[in-house]
Each structure stands twice: as structure tokens, then as C-alpha cells.
């Protein structure tokens, strides 16, 4: 598992930053005007309910809060900011992101210097703080030179407005290029990758996580429950319209389906999915835990993962999810069953790399390819 500092806290990659192994995601804070599909679910929280979630998260020992400027177009950051003013700032690690379109002008989007600097200033104002612990790119930008992006982030670190740099939603070659470019420029390097990863989305194991493992980057996992598909609450043949869930909300209008909140139809007739649900239920029963806790624990037992980001809409959900970070483990047989039920197809060149390197490793080099990420 990832390097630990003790109890529920782990280092974020090889940095000296200690974070909760369960991070509170805040995309559910606020409600976007105009009914934006990503933030119009009936499960979105107003400030009062969001502050209740934040209070309980802190009481349970959580110190890591993740947001983004685009979440409800700044409302999420504002809600966190109004709560943060009533806390001891140094007790919490605040992470946010930039890149998304935040206005109608040509320079109101992307990872150019002008946009990055302005978005950082705007986030600091909304968060009511004078520094951001972890500032992250929200996605790769094909329109801006990487050197410009990284130098702008480095300048924010030098100015004391940002403590650490991270990235999100990139592919393998992009991740390696980010690391190598920062090294060649002699500037602040990234310490983390925030990536979708769950039992139904494992493709980052092939490339991106290999870079993270070899370079010492911590992985922050988003959508660990695949928008609710890994909660075990749904039954075969029963449509989720009236479940009060995001999946149910999307089911009524599948045009709004996205990777983190999939359409019910994507899995309704998938035998592999229902087999996975049964394996998860069995493991949950073995440990006296819930199905979501099994899905989260599977992630926490992957050695590349530093923290798992949860998105909750109630205190009950929060407490259940946080319990996944406590001191209990899935057995090796259970991990193997879950791994095998959701295994990626063995395809070239990965199958040949694995076959020709079986049993071949050097303890003085970075840990070998498959076994140290997938187990």
C-alpha cells in the first residue's frame, strides 16, 4: 500500500504532504444556474447541508478537501471558503483545479499563463485563504505549450500562493511528458495525479499509474463508486428512476450521462457487472461491511493510491464511506476475486511485456511493471 504517516493519513506520493486516505470531494456542493447537467441533480447540497458534511468529515479526522473552480461555477469553492473561515486553516489540505471555461471571453478557458494566474486569484478569493495546498490542472490542454503551463504553476509556488502542483485526467504519454518537462526546466514538479479509477474503470493501470509508480507520484482516485454503480443498491431488472440517486436522475435523461455518472443502460444487461456485484456483496458479508466500503477498500489496498475521493450527499453516506479507511483489509483471495472479475483484456504490447518480464526484477531499480501496481 501507499506510504503511511500513521493511522488514516498517508503521504501524497513522495512529497512531505500528509493527507487523509479518504478525501472529501465537493462537486455536490452548490447548484449551477441554468440547470447545467453536471450540477443539476436533486442530490446537490446547499451551503447549510454542505457545512454539516464538512463538520462531520473534520470530526471523523478528515483533513483533505478537493474541489475545482468549475464545480457549480465557483459555488463549491465559496461554500468551502465560508466554512474554512471558522476553522484552523493549517489543519486542512485544500485542493482545487483550473482549466475549464469560466467566462465568455477568449482567455476564460485553458492552461495559458493568463488564465491560470487569474483562476488562482479567483479561487483564493472564493476559498477565503491566502494559499492553495494542491493546485491541479483539470485536464490536458492541446492549445497551450506545456512549458507555459508548468512555468505559470511554478511562479504561483514561488509567490507562495500554491504549495504543491498536481494534474488530472491525462493519458500515459502526457503524464510522462509533464514529469520530464518539469525536470528539464528545473522547476516545481507535480506530486500527484487525480484520475478516475474504480472496479469498472481500470485502464489507467496500463500506462498512467506506471508513470506514477516509477516517478513517485501519488494517485488521487475520483469516482470510486462509478456514480453509484458500485454501491450494490440496484437490483437486476429494476430501473432506478425513483431511487433518489444520480443514476436515477440520469436514467430519466440519458443524454446527460458522463463517465463519472453513467447511464443505467450501460450495465443493466452486463453479466460481468452483476457477477462483480455478487462478489462485492459476499466480501461485504464476510467482514460485516457495506458494498461501498468494499469498493473503496479495494482501491485503498492498491499501492499506487494515496487517497480516495468520495462525493456524498448525507452524513450517513459520509460515515459509511469514511469507515472504509479504518484498519481492516480485504483478504488476498477477495482482492484476487475482484481483480479477476474486472480484469483488463490482455492485449499487446502489455501482454508481451508481462510475459517476457515474468520473474525478472532488480531491487535497485524502480519496482517492476505489473505486480506492484495491480496488487
* pLDDT tens track, the chain, 375 positions: 444 444 589 999 999 999 999 999 999 999 876 555 566 567 899 999 999 999 999 999 999 999 999 999 999 999 999 999 999 999 999 999 999 999 999 999 999 999 999 999 999 999 999 999 999 999 999 999 999 999 999 999 999 999 999 999 999 999 999 999 999 999 999 999 999 999 999 999 999 999 999 999 999 999 999 988 999 998 887 777 655 566 655 655 666 666 667 777 888 888 999 999 999 999 999 999 999 999 999 999 999 999 999 999 999 999 999 999 999 999 999 999 999 999 999 899 999 998 998 988 887 775 544 444 444
Place of cell 496500463: 206
In the sheet that holds 9-11, the strands lie side by side as 4-6, 9-11, 18-20
Show which residues are catalytic: 71
Contact residues for 22 (Cβ-Cβ < 8 A; gap 6+): 8, 62, 64, 296, 307, 308, 310, 321, 322, 324, 325
Task: Write the CA distances from 292 to 96, 157, 230, 328, integer angstroms.
Answer: 25, 37, 6, 14
Collapse the DSSP code of 65 into the 3-class scheme (helix H, G, I; strand E, B; otherwise coil) and give the result. strand
What pTM value is reported for the model?
0.91
* Phi and psi torsions of 215, nearest 5°: -100, -5
318 burial (CB, 10 Å; 0-12 / 13-18 / 19+) is buried
Beta strands in 204-325 (DSSP E): 218-222, 305-310
User: 172-185 and 146-158 helices cross at what angle (nearest 10)?
Assistant: 60
What are the residues facing 164 on neighbouring strands? 134
pLDDT of residue 282: 98
Domains in the chain, CATH or no CATH each: 4-344 (3.20.20.100)
Q: Which helix (H) or strand (E) holds 286?
A: helix 271-287
Amino acid at each position: 500500500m501507499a506510504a503511511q504517516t500513521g493511522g488514516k493519513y498517508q503521504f501524497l506520493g513522495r512529497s512531505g504532504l500528509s493527507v487523509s486516505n479518504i478525501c472529501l470531494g465537493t462537486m455536490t456542493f452548490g447548484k449551477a444556474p441554468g440547470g447545467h447537467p453536471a450540477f443539476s441533480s436533486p442530490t446537490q447540497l446547499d451551503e447549510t447541508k454542505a457545512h454539516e458534511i464538512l463538520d462531520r468529515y473534520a470530526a471523523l479526522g478528515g483533513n483533505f478537501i478537493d474541489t475545482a473552480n468549475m464545480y457549480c461555477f465557483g459555488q463549491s469553492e465559496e461554500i468551502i471558503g465560508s466554512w474554512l473561515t471558522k476553522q484552523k486553516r493549517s489543519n486542512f489540505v485544500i485542493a482545487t483545479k483550473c482549466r475549464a471555461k469560466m467566462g465568455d471571453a477568449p482567455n476564460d478557458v485553458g492552461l495559458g499563463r493568463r488564465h491560470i494566474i487569474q483562476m488562482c486569484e479567483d479561487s483564493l478569493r472564493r476559498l477565503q485563504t491566502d494559499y492553495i495546498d494542491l493546485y491541479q490542472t483539470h485536464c490536458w490542454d492541446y492549445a497551450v505549450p506545456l512549458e507555459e503551463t508548468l512555468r505559470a504553476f511554478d511562479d504561483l509556488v514561488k509567490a507562495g500562493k500554491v504549495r504543491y502542483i498536481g494534474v488530472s485526467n491525462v493519458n500515459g504519454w502526457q503524464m510522462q511528458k509533464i514529469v520530464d518537462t518539469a525536470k528539464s526546466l528545473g522547476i516545481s514538479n507535480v506530486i500527484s495525479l487525480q484520475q478516475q479509477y474504480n472496479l469498472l474503470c481500470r485502464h489507467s493501470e496500463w500506462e498512467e499509474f506506471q508513470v506514477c509508480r516509477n516517478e513517485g507520484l501519488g494517485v488521487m482516485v475520483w469516482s470510486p463508486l462509478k456514480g453509484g454503480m458500485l454501491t450494490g443498491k440496484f437490483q437486476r431488472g429494476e430501473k432506478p428512476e425513483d431511487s433518489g440517486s444520480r443514476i436515477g436522475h440520469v436514467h430519466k435523461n440519458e443524454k446527460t450521462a458522463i463517465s463519472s455518472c453513467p447511464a443505467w443502460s450501460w450495465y443493466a444487461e452486463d453479466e460481468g457487472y452483476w457477477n462483480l456485484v455478487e462478489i462485492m456483496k459476499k466480501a461485504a458479508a464476510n467482514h460485516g461491511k457495506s458494498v461501498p466500503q468494499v469498493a473503496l477498500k479495494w482501491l485503498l489496498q492498491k499501492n499506487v493510491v494515496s487517497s480516495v475521493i468520495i462525493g456524498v450527499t448525507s452524513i450517513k453516506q459520509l460515515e459509511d464511506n469514511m469507515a472504509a479507511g479504518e484498519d481492516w483489509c480485504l483478504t488476498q483471495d477477495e482482492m484476487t476475486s475482484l481483480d479477476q472479475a474486472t480484469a483488463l483484456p490482455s492485449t499487446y504490447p502489455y501482454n508481451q511485456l508481462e510475459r517476457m518480464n515474468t520473474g525478472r526484477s532488480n531491487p535497485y531499480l524502480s519496482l517492476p511493471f505489473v505486480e506492484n501496481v495491480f496488487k
